[in-house]
Structure formats: C-alpha cells, structure tokens
Amino acid sequence: MNSTISLSLATLLALSVECILFGLFFALALVTLHILVDKGAWKVSKHRLAMTVIMISMTVLGGAHVAIDIRRVVLAFIMQPEGRDELLNDVSSHLYIARTSIYVVQTFLGDAFIVYRAYIVTGKNKYMVPFSIACISASICISVLCGIKYSKASWTATVFDLTPWTISYFFVTFIINLTCTVIISLRIWLTRRDAGPIQAHKHTSQALKIVVESGAAYSILLVTLAATYVSKNWSQYIVMDALVQAIGIVFTLILLRVSLGVAQENPFGLANVPRTPQYDIHQRPMSKHVAITIGRDSLDFLRRSGSMSSATMVAVTMGNGLENSIKGGPEMHNNVAISGS
C-alpha cells in the first residue's frame, strides 16, 4: 500500500468529517424543507413535491450512512479490536455493502437531478431524451455491476482489488456531471443573452455562478476521490464519506440560493425572465405627427392599384414638434392615415 495513513486512522477521520458535514446538511435540509412547504412561490410550483421527496430521501440516506459508519467503528475499535483492520477492510461484509449501496443511491439521485435539470433547461428537447436515458442507464448498470463484484469478493480482497469497476463508476459519474453542467450553463447564458443586454448582464452571472459552483464542487470531489483511490491511499474513505453528504449539501444550497433570491433562476436553471425591448438610444418612438389630406383621384388610384383599402388610415410621424394640415379643394374629402414610429 502507498497510503500515508493507516486504515484505522482514515476510518476515524472519515467518520469525523462525515458527522460534521451531515450536521451541516441536516440543518440546511430543515431550512430547505420549510421553504418548500411554506414559501409562497413554492406552494404553486409543480416541482415542489419532487423536491421534497428528493430532499427527504437524501437526508435519510445521509443519516443512514453515518449510522452504518458508527456501527463499523464500534465493532472495529470496541467490540473486536483484535481484528480491526480485517473487519474494516472486508468489502464483502453486509455493513460495507450497505454503506457502498447508500453511496451509490445518493450519487444516483444527484446524477438524476442534474440530468433532469439539463432536460428541463433545454426546453424538454427531444434530442435530450436519448441522452438522459443513456446517462441514467449507464449509472444504473455500472452501479449494479460494482455491487455484484463487491458482494462476490473474497474476505481477503481489499477495495483496491476492484479498481477497474470502481474507476469506471467514478468516470461515468464525472462525465454525467460535467456534460450536464456545460449544457445547463450554455443554455442559461444563451437565454439571458436573448432576454436583453441589461438583464442578461444582471442575471447571467448569478445563474451561471450557482450552476458552475455546484458542478465544480462535485467534480473536484470526484477527481480527488479517483486520485486517492488510484494511488491506493486509505484517505479515499475520507473523500468518499464526505462526498455522500456533499451531494445533499449541493442540492440544498441550489434550492436555498434560488428561494432566498441569491440567484434569479428556478432549481432547474432558468427563470421566467420577461423579454425587454432592446431599444437603441436612437430608436425611441416619436410623439409628433402631421395629418395629411389626400384627394379623391389619388385615393381612387391607390385603391385600384391594391395599395390600400378604403378603411386604411395613415399617420405620418414627424419630429419637428408641429402639426400641419394640407388642405385642398372641395373634392379632397377622404382622409387617409400613414403610420410610422
């Protein structure tokens, strides 16, 4: 092993970090749940039920992961200290498979959420359906295969003996997160740009910031986890346990920042930003106009040529601040208006 710390120390540090992060996650979850249930804007949101279910599920999974790790520590350090390393390193044990399964389900919820965000942000584009199905299917398949390999591993096998399958899982999760983050960010930027130069500048930075920050935080943890795992360092347990809680923290922070108005978007990346007229300073509508009277002969000619109907009214806009009327003989009695701005 190339690990700079022992398995026992890594396990204790992982539990400590995880407990701290779970405390933060639980507090954020309570606040977010209160907003989902009571906040006026959320009461009419069609996504409220889905957000509530995901939030509760992530919180339960995070708490269950902490409970399992506490149980493993009690068994290894108090009840069976003589076989501590063997117990902690047994990847085929029920407790180890249970904690790994929780990590997989938590990751799946995070992946499914960001894939669905990408689908909604792109306006439910039909081309996103195959992509979404492929991402979710890949995540499920690789998770099931990893679970099978872990359950069939011998009691002497370590977590590092299953490198190909574990790295494949990390890679699939990373690609899903990176791709969807790019899609959401690009779509938000394009939408804000089309909304008008002033609002685009104001809102794009806020929307992009929350998407990029959440994606970057998750990606950094995944890369760190993969790096420590490939180097066969026991500190990978610290990163993995932190990642379980970080997924829920990122999820709640997205909802909180949106709900509290820090970012002007909905949880799926876009807000209903009204389009503003993109007037140039030289394109202001004029308020002055001149009424023009046209003779019958001219009017009959226009009618015969099909240029206008008898009901057409004309208004000619002038910017000189004067209202003039061109008057002719008695035969000039049909008024036509020509509009302009």
Say which residues have a Cβ less than 8 Å from residue 189's Cβ, sequence separation at least 6. 204, 208
Mean pLDDT of the chain: 74
Contact, 235 vs 3, CB < 8 A?
yes
Percent of the chain with pLDDT over 90: 21
% of the chain beyond a pLDDT of 70: 66
Q: Please tell me the predicted confidence (pLDDT) of residue 3.
A: 63
Which tokens hold the place of 149? 């390999």
pLDDT in the model for residue 45: 62
Q: Which residue has the higher pLDDT, 126 or 299?
A: 126
- 138 contacts: CB under 8 Å, gap ≥ 6: 172, 176
CATH 1.10.1300 fits 7-259, yes or no: no
Which H helix or E strand runs over 292? Answer: strand 289-292
The backbone torsions φ and ψ at residue 25, rounded to the nearest 5 degrees and listed phi first, read -60, -45
Q: Which one has a higher pLDDT value, 242 or 133?
A: 242
Single-letter residue type at 134: A
Q: What is the predicted pLDDT for the residue at 86?
A: 85
Angle subtended by helix axes 48-74 and 7-38, to nearest 10? 160
Q: What is the pLDDT of residue 247?
A: 92
Is pLDDT above 70 for 21?
Answer: yes
Check if the beta carbon of residue 236 is closer than 8 Å to that of residue 230. Answer: no
DSSP secondary structure string for all residues of 52-77: HHHHHHHHHHHHHHHHHHHHHHHIII
Nearest CA to 68 out of 3, 149, 10, 14 is that of 14
Question: Are the C-beta atoms of 41 and 261 separated by less than 8 Å?
Answer: no
Q: Which two tokens stand for residue 68?
A: 């399992």
Domain parsing of the chain, residue ranges: 7-259, 285-341
d(CA 181, CA 217): 11
